[in-house]
Amino acid sequence: MIALGLAAIAAAAVWWRRNPSACPYSQRFWVQAPHPLITRRRFRETLAPAAGEQVLEIGPGTGYYTLELASWLGPGGQLEIFDIQQEMLDHTMGLVAGRGLANVAATQGDAQALPYEDDSFDAVVLTTTLGEIPDPDTALGEVARVLRRGGRLIVGELLGDPHYTTPSSLRRRGERAGMRFEHRSGPAFGYFARLVACPAGDATRSTGRSGGCAQGRAGFRARFAG
C-alpha cells in the first residue's frame, strides 16, 4: 500500500510537471503554508525595495508576500498584483483592505500578454510562479518589456514545487529575454534570484558567474515578433 501511495504521488508530480498550470484557489492551503528558505526576509534582501517604487507581482496567490511588499513601498509607491485567477486576487485584496493599504491594485489576466506599457515598473516579482506558465519564455519576454532599464526581476523557487525552475534554467531563459542574472540568495533547492533588465539593444554576452545579456530586450522582441 505504501509503495502504491508513493507511486501515485510520483505520477501526480510528473503530470503537474508536464502540464503547467496555476495552483487552483480550492487548493490555496499550499500557497498559505510557511515558505521555508524563500522567506519574507530573504525576499526583501534580494529585492531591496525603495519607497516610491512601482512594482508588479505576478501570481501573488493569497498574498503571502503582498502585504509586506506594499508596506515597504510606502504611500508614494504602487504595487500591481496580477493573477490569472480572480479568486486569488479577491482574496488578497480583502487582506489589503483589512490592513488599510491604499497602494495596491489588482488585474486579472495572462502573464504571457501583460496589459502594461513598456518600461512601467522598477521591479517585477514571480514567486513559485514561473513554471506554472505554459510558455515561460514568452512571459519573461513580457517581463523584460515592462521593466524599466536597470529594473529588477525577482524570482523565488522551492524544490518540491512540481513546477520548480532551477537556477541554471532561470539564468538561460532570463538572458534570452534580455535580462542579466545578477544574484542568487539561498541554496539551489530554495532560493530567490535577482535579474536585471538590460538596456534595449544591448548585445553584450554573458561573462563569468555574474551573467550578462545574451541579446538584449530588442533582440528578444524581434525574434518573437513573427
Q: Which residues contact 217 (CB under 8 A, 6 or more apart)?
A: 144, 145, 177, 178, 197, 198, 199, 200, 201, 202
Write out the residue range of the structural domain in which residue 143 sits: 2-224
Q: Which residue has the cell 498550470?
A: 21
CB 168 within 8 A of CB 187: no
pLDDT band at 219 (very low <50, low <70, confident <90, very high): low
CATH number at residue 119: 3.40.50.150
Question: Given a cut of 80, is residue 210 above it in pLDDT?
Answer: no
Task: Look up the pTM and report it.
Answer: 0.81
> 195 — phi, psi (to 5°)?
-115, 150
Q: Distance between CA 94 and CA 56 in Å, rounded?
A: 18
Mean residue pLDDT across the chain: 84
Q: How many Å apart are CA 18 and CA 100, to the nearest integer?
A: 40
165: helix, strand or coil? coil
Percent of the chain with pLDDT over 90: 70
pLDDT of 105-129, one tens digit each? 999 999 999 999 999 999 999 999 9
Kindly report, residue by residue over 38-82, the tens digit of the pLDDT: 999 999 999 999 999 999 999 999 999 999 999 999 999 999 999
pLDDT attached to residue 33: 63
Total structural domains within the chain: 1
In this prediction, residues 165-174 reach a mean pLDDT of 97
